[in-house]
């Protein structure tokens, strides 16, 4: 299957959202960073790669703990934003499926909500394995799917009823990585051991008045589907999503459960 159109949509979509990210997507993604760092077992001077760094929050937190962190992202806008926010850290444009690093360079590779967006997650895992020193740790996080996440259940219920999903570019099933059995097998296949997982009960704090409008800034995958629908279908979807999310609004902020899972493994 050719996923190149999906990949381009993701890259361009994240670049467009780079400036807004700190007040949009970060309203859920920041909450997984402590658990990511916990699984990484960093030490002073540890060499860390923030793979799919976005605006650089993971690298910056690792640096605060004494690590020597750097970051890569395939979206130029994100890399520019990361450089502006954290000028003391080295950030560059690159793909997690083809890392620009020698074998056995890093003590930890950290990827916060990134594999959800890549075309070949197993390739990204195998690249992380390649650039890790023996016993180095790969830690990544992933959204849980509609079966466990109130936020995604609500969105996909509405999309399932109204959207013509065949209009979206072909894309891999993002929730394959929400399944522990699948992920453990993939991680084992590419050379990890001591594989662990832990759920983080993220709560998305989305400013009102419209949850739909907020979500169009929050992510890329769902907006890519929505933008392809006829205007009247988009209007219906917006109306239903706003009605269904109304009970979650208090003091001007929607608080929606959006759990994630953190996976970690040690390079053998
Ligand atoms: C949800 S954001 C997470 C950003 C960051 N890790 C954080 O914790 O804030 C997803 C990021 O993954 C990046 N990304 C997606 N696919 C990628 C790929 N194949 N190579 C590098 N970066 C990628 C996007 O550009 C975006 O910055």
Look at residue 82 in the predicted model and tell me its pLDDT. Answer: 98
SS3 204: strand
Look at residue 133 in the predicted model and tell me its pLDDT. Answer: 98
User: What is the whole-number distance in angstroms between the Cα of residue 121 and the centre of ligand 1?
Assistant: 12
* 74 to 8, 62, 122, 198, 265: CA distances (angstroms): 10, 20, 17, 27, 24
Pocket of ligand 1 (CB under 6 A): 10, 14, 25, 29, 52-54, 57-58, 73-75, 78, 95-97, 112-114, 117-118
Q: Which domains does the chain show, CATH number per domain?
A: 4-267 (3.40.50.150)
Average pLDDT over residues 112-129: 97
User: What is the whole-number distance in angstroms between the Cα of residue 247 and the centre of ligand 1?
Assistant: 31
Look at residue 55 in the predicted model and tell me its pLDDT. Answer: 98
User: What is the whole-number distance in angstroms between the Cα of residue 224 and the centre of ligand 1?
Assistant: 16
* 162 to 57, 157, 159, 188: CA distances (angstroms): 36, 9, 5, 39
Average pLDDT over residues 219-224: 90
- For the chain, percent of residues with pLDDT exceeding 90: 98
CA gap 261, 32 in Å, rounded? 8
Pocket mutation for ligand 1, best pick of 17, 74, 99, 119 (most atoms within 8 Å of C-beta): 74
- CB distance 96 to 118 below 8 Å: yes
CA gap 215, 185 in Å, rounded? 32
User: What is the whole-number distance in angstroms between the Cα of residue 75 and the centre of ligand 1?
Assistant: 8
pLDDT at 14 over 90: yes
pLDDT at 119 over 90: yes
User: What is the whole-number distance in angstroms between the Cα of residue 194 and the centre of ligand 1?
Assistant: 25
Specify the ligand 1 atom closest to the Cα of 78. Answer: 27
Query: How many CB atoms within 10 Å of residue 1?
Result: 7
CA gap 54, 74 in Å, rounded? 9
Pocket mutation for ligand 1, best pick of 14, 37, 51 (most atoms within 8 Å of C-beta): 14
The length of the chain is 268
The residue nearest atom 10 of ligand 1, judged by CA position, is 114
User: What is the whole-number distance in angstroms between the Cα of residue 113 and the centre of ligand 1?
Assistant: 7
- CB distance 125 to 190 below 8 Å: yes
pLDDT at 221 over 90: no
Token pair, residue 118, equals 């890549």
Backbone angles phi, psi at 57, to 5 degrees: -65, -35
User: What is the whole-number distance in angstroms between the Cα of residue 114 and the centre of ligand 1?
Assistant: 5
The residue nearest atom 15 of ligand 1, judged by CA position, is 117
Specify the ligand 1 atom closest to the Cα of 55. Answer: 9
Rounded to 5°, the CA angle 113-153-57 comes to: 20
Q: How confident is the model at residue 169 (pLDDT cuts 50, 70, 90)?
A: very high
For residue range 236-268, list pLDDT tens digits in order: 999 999 999 999 999 999 999 999 999 999 999
- CB distance 206 to 254 below 8 Å: yes
Mean pLDDT for the chain overall: 97
Looking at beta carbons, which pairs linking 98-104 to residues 24 or more positions away fall under 8 Å? 98/127, 99/49, 99/51, 99/72, 99/127, 99/128, 99/130, 99/131, 100/72, 101/49, 101/131, 102/131, 103/130, 103/131, 104/131, 104/132, 104/133, 104/134, 104/136
């Amino acid at each position: 299957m050719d996923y190149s159109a999906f990949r381009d949509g993701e890259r361009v979509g994240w670049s467009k959202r780079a400036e807004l990210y700190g007040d949009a997507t970060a309203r859920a993604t920041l909450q997984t960073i402590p658990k990511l760092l916990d699984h990484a077992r960093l030490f002073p001077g540890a060499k860390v790669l923030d793979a799919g760094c976005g605006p650089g929050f993971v690298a910056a937190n690792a640096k605060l703990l004494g690590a020597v962190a750097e970051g890569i992202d395939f979206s130029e806008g994100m890399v520019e934003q990361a450089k502006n926010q954290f000028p003391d850290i080295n950030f560059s444009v690159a793909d997690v499926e083809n890392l620009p690093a020698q074998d056995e360079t890093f003590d930890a590779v950290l990827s916060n909500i990134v594999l959800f967006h890549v075309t070949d997650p197993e390739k990204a895992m195998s690249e992380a394995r390649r650039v890790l020193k023996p016993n180095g740790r790969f830690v990544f996080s992933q959204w849980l799917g509609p079966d466990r996440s109130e936020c995604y259940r609500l969105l996909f219920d509405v999309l399932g009823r109204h959207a013509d999903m065949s209009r979206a570019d072909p894309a891999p099933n993002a929730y394959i990585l929400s399944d522990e059995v699948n992920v453990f097998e993939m991680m084992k296949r590419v050379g990890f051991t001591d594989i662990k997982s832990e759920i983080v009960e993220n709560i998305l704090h989305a400013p009102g008045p419209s949850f739909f409008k907020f979500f169009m800034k929050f992510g890329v995958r769902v907006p890519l589907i929505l933008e392809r629908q006829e205007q009247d279908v988009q209007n219906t979807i917006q109306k239903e999503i706003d009605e269904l999310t109304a009970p979650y609004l208090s003091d001007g902020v929607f608080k929606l459960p959006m759990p994630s899972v953190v996976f970690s493994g040690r390079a053998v």
